[in-house]
Amino acid sequence: METELYESDAFTAKKTSLLSRFQSDYRFQKGDELYIHQGEGRPLKVRLIDVRVHIQPDGRLTRELLSLKL
């Protein structure tokens, strides 16, 4: 499933910036913690606050993950 991971505003749960885009069949849940490796240095750690699944007009499923930086 096409998955987009966004940083989210802590108070309104609105998307702010796209952190990553990838294909995955993993069942993400609210509360999951992810480590995003972006080259050298420590990975960015985020916690999921919302998982939104969308059914597109052509029948494809896409998913948005909203997260907070830790």
Distances (CA, A) of 34 to 8, 56, 57: 14, 26, 30
Work out the mean pLDDT of the chain and round it to a whole number: 94
- In a 13 Å sphere around the CA of 50, the CA atoms on its Cβ side amount to 15
Q: Work out the percent of the chain whose per-residue pLDDT is above 70.
A: 100
Q: Which pLDDT value is given to residue 24?
A: 95
Q: pTM for the full model?
A: 0.89
Cβ atoms of 8 and 14 closer than 8 Å: yes
H helical segments located in 1-70: none
**47-59 pLDDT, tens digit each:** 999 999 999 999 9
At 24, list the tokens: 């995955």
